[in-house]
Homo-oligomer: A and B are copies of this chain.
Amino acid sequence: MPEAPEAKPVAAGRQLLFLREEELRLAQDLLFFGYRDFTAGPDAILAELGMGRAHHRVLHFVGRRPGITVGELLAILGITKQSLGRVLTPLVEEGYVVQAPGRNDRRQRLLSLTEKGEAMERRLFERQREWVMRAYREAGPVAVEGFRRVMRGLMGPEARAQLDRALPEAARAPGAKPRSAA
């Protein structure tokens, strides 16, 4: 770990790539403040409804993959069954999410959003969309591409695999020329 083997001397750019102390401290600050404010909008809406970030995540990932099983959702979120239960059960009870027995395996509970759930997710989505849109617009397309590359790099290998699996393929770059992996 200490003294990373310098990787291969990356030609000229090395100077820029060497992570100086202050560069990381800046990254820490940016991620802390950025993530906090990124979630602030939805958080406010959720709070009014007596829900939290965890509920949003469930709505998000269920909305993204309707018919997802509980087990898959657990794997994506990386939490325990009990933790999910405390959030999922109320969502079902209050009619945001429906459970349907699996066709092949009837032990499974396939999750999907109700209309109410979709509306809710939509509302949270729109709030966040405004926010991210502003940031993207200010930063410009090149920066956005860079942002994606770095964030992807910050993910662990498992998360990266999940992300790929989670994306309905078509979604990965809809209409955009598949410019490498990025």
Contacts and interface: CB of A to CB of B under 8 A. Distances in A.
B36 A78 contact: yes
B163 A33 contact: yes
B37 A35 contact: no
A26 B10 CA distance: 30
Contacts of A47: none
A55 interface: no
Contacts of A148: 26-27, 30
A102 interface: no
A128 interface: yes
Given A22-B174, A126-B2, A174-B20, A33 B147 contact: no
Contact of A143 (B7, B23, B30, B150): B150
A25 interface: yes
A29 interface: yes
A13 interface: yes
A107 to B, nearest CB: 28
Contacts of A57: 32
Given A1-B130, A4-B129, A129-B4, A136 B150 contact: yes
Contacts of A26: 148, 167, 171
Contact of A152 (B34, B60, B145): B34
Interface of A: 1-2, 4, 7, 10, 13, 16-17, 19-20, 22-38, 40, 57, 60, 64, 78, 122-123, 125-156, 159-160, 162-163, 166-167, 171, 174
Going nearest first, the 10 A-B pairs with the smallest beta carbon separation are: A146-B146, A135-B153, A143-B146, A147-B150, A30-B151, A16-B141, A139-B149, A33-B159, A34-B154, A34-B151
